[in-house]
Each structure stands twice: as structure tokens, then as C-alpha cells.
């Protein structure tokens, strides 16, 4: 497919993403090799592509559930308020839980998720995040499995959107500044 005109530079190609997802899956599979079951919690919408690829590359038993969140006032001024739109279907008490996110930006969403799941008495709780923008962080959050650190650009593709568009691009590209400024 031709690159949409709104996209400038391709930051991470399909091949580069696939290679890193494979590495993360190997590391997670090794770390949870003794665990009876791993519960992967995908954070909608952004994480659906990453979760699909990551989960299918795992060699340990796992199940998949989802949670949907939305943050208020995204963009230049993030307030940090997070709204729960849809909760998981199943209980995670006593299970090894892995939160799967597409990106950690200010950190407020992941902090909310970690607080929420910690209160549900999982056997363990870790986070796997594809992208991190360290320059944007407002709250420190632990990320046990990280794909890539990226600069502070508006990125789309591989699950990430601009006004709900570009989520199914196979690569991660930077949106041209004139599109969102």
C-alpha cells in the first residue's frame, strides 16, 4: 500500500517491529516458563495489533482479555485523568498478569492500570509496552518489557492512531506536523 500523504518519516518498519516483537515474546516465554497461566490484558484500542502478534509468538500457555480506557485532554496538556470504558471480562485474582500497551507517554494510563490490577490480587503483575516517549513522562512507571524508545513525535500505525485513522498501517510512522498543528 502506498504511504498516506499525512505520514512523513517511517520510524519503525514492519520488519524491525516483527523482529523486536519476536524477541519480546522469547523473553516473556522464558520468564513465564514455570507459570501455569499468563493473562495478557490488552489496552484498547491502541494495543490490539501488538497484542495479536505478541500473543501468537508466545510459547507459554496464556489467555487474552481486554480493557478499554480513554484519557481526558490528550495532546499538549495532559491532565492525567483516565476514564474506564470497558473492564476485563474475567477475574485476574491469583493469575500472572501482563498488561500490554502500545505506548507510554505521560505514564498516567499505565500508572492507573498498574494501580487497578494490583488491587485485584494477581499472582504477579508486569507490563509490556511497545513504545516509550521518555521525554514526555510525568509519572515514573515500571515497564518490564519495552520494545523501543522513540522521540516526541506523533506516531501512527501498528495500532496507533490520529483521530482513529492509520491504526492498521503495518509500520510506525511520524505524522507530518502540519496535519495536527
How far apart CA 36 and CA 176 sit, in angstroms, is 45
Give the residue with the Cβ less far from ligand PRP, 32 or 145: 145
Interface with ligand PRP includes 147 (CB under 6 A)? Answer: no
Interface with ligand PRP includes 108 (CB under 6 A)? Answer: yes
Pick the catalytic residue from 31, 105, 152, 161: 105
| 105 is a catalytic site residue | yes
Choice from 60, 78, 143, 153 touching ligand PRP (CB under 6 A):
78
Q: Cβ 34 to ligand PRP, closest distance in Å? A: 30
- The distance of Cα 112 from the centroid of its chain, to the nearest Å, equals 14
The pair phi, psi for residue 18, each rounded to 5°, is -60, -40
- The distance of Cα 70 from the centroid of its chain, to the nearest Å, equals 13
Interface with ligand PRP includes 45 (CB under 6 A)? Answer: yes
How far apart CA 7 and CA 160 sit, in angstroms, is 13
Give the residue with the Cβ less far from ligand PRP, 45 or 126: 45
The DSSP string of 37-55 is -EEEEEEETTTHHHHHHHH
Residue numbers of the site for ligand PRP (CB under 6 A)? 43-46, 70-71, 74, 78, 101-110, 161
Amino acid at each position: 500500500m502506498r504511504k498516506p500523504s499525512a505520514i512523513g518519516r517511517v520510524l519503525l518498519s514492519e520488519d524491525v517491529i516483527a523482529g523486536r516483537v519476536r524477541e519480546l515474546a522469547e523473553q516473556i516465554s522464558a520468564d513465564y516458563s514455570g507459570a501455569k497461566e499468563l493473562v495478557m490484558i490488552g489496552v484498547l484500542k491502541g494495543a490490539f495489533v501488538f497484542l495479536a502478534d505478541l500473543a501468537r509468538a508466545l510459547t507459554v500457555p496464556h489467555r487474552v482479555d481486554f480493557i478499554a480506557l480513554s484519557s481526558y485532554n490528550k495532546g499538549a496538556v495532559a491532565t492525567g485523568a483516565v476514564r474506564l470504558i470497558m473492564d476485563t471480562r474475567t477475574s485476574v485474582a491469583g493469575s500472572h498478569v501482563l498488561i500490554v500497551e502500545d505506548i507510554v507517554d505521560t505514564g498516567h494510563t499505565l500508572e492507573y492500570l498498574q494501580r487497578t490490577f494490583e488491587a485485584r490480587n494477581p499472582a504477579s503483575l508486569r507490563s509490556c509496552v511497545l513504545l516509550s516517549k521518555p521525554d514526555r513522562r510525568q509519572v515514573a512507571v515500571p515497564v518490564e518489557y519495552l520494545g523501543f524508545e522513540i522521540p516526541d513525535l506523533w506516531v501512527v500505525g501498528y495500532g496507533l492512531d490520529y483521530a482513529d485513522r492509520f491504526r492498521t498501517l503495518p509500520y510506525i510512522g511520524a505524522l507530518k506536523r502540519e496535519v495536527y498543528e
